Amino acid sequence: MPMLEVKNLSVNYGAIQAVRNVSFQINKGEIVTLIGANGAGKSTIVKTISGILKPKSGELVYEGTHLEKLKPNKVVAKGISQVPEGRHVFEEMTVRENLLMGAYLRKDRDGIQEDFEKMYQRFPVLKEREKQDAATLSGGEQQMLVMARALMARPKLILLDEPSMGLSPIYIQEVFKIIETIRDQGTTVLLIEQNAKQALSIADRGYVLASGEVKMTGTGKDLLDDPSVQKAYLGG
């Protein structure tokens, strides 16, 4: 049984249909990536899974539970965290306060403190900047912060929306290494990414979206090697 199954999902922005009858699934322990041009519907799908948007039709079944009518906080409580496109740190709060916000539904103080230490081990720069306002961090450091903040909820599934956008090449490499580590340590990943080559290189499976529809699917390697994918998305 898939961890998450998206069935015939359609989502509208007013009169505009952004997503049309999209179906895909994510199995526990996978990195699954959605790739496609701007406007393909990738971020819309993530926001709908998160409860920010409501579907026009279709089903979102997560570990046997339907998500379609749940509010975002209830989706988080089920074990799904989102790292939004554009980072969205709480700029006037410190690094530590931002991380604490990620654990706002949790009551286990000892566990939260334990996870602070885990985040500081995984992202050493956050330990160094612990008392700084998030607004003072570089773009790459802010991306580390929002990833760590999402992990503070102890999600079983993490949704990453364009995590490499606007980052320097060094930070891009670091972000993709961290995504693999997150998966290796037991968190399933749905990755939305403009950098299709990097995303497919670490993904177990991928789905290619165009005009709000799934056009192709396959393993990360198969899609990387596909001439039509190379021509459209990889500069081949």
Token representation of residue 187: 């968190």
Give the pLDDT score at 236. Answer: 56
**Residue position matching structure tokens 């999902």:** 9
Beta carbons within 10 angstroms of residue 121's beta carbon: 10
Q: Is 110 helix (H, G, I), strand (E, B) or coil?
A: helix
Give the pLDDT score at 27. Answer: 98
CA-wise closest residue to 82 among 6, 212, 207, 190: 190
Q: Is 23 helix (H, G, I), strand (E, B) or coil?
A: strand
Give alpha helix (H) positions in 11-158: 42-49, 72-78, 95-102, 109-122, 124-128, 139-151
pLDDT tens-digit map of 124-172: 999 999 999 999 999 999 999 999 999 999 999 999 999 998 888 988 9
| Per-residue pLDDT at 235 exceeds 70 | no
The predicted model gives 184-203 an average pLDDT of 95
Q: Which CATH fold would you assign to the domain 4-233?
A: Rossmann fold (3.40.50)
CA-wise closest residue to 201 among 170, 227, 225: 225
Summary count for the chain: helices (H), strands (E): 10, 10
pTM of the model: 0.93
pLDDT tens-digit map of 8-22: 999 998 888 999 999
- What does pLDDT average to over the chain? 94
* Backbone phi and psi for residue 178, each to the nearest 5 degrees, phi listed first: -65, -40
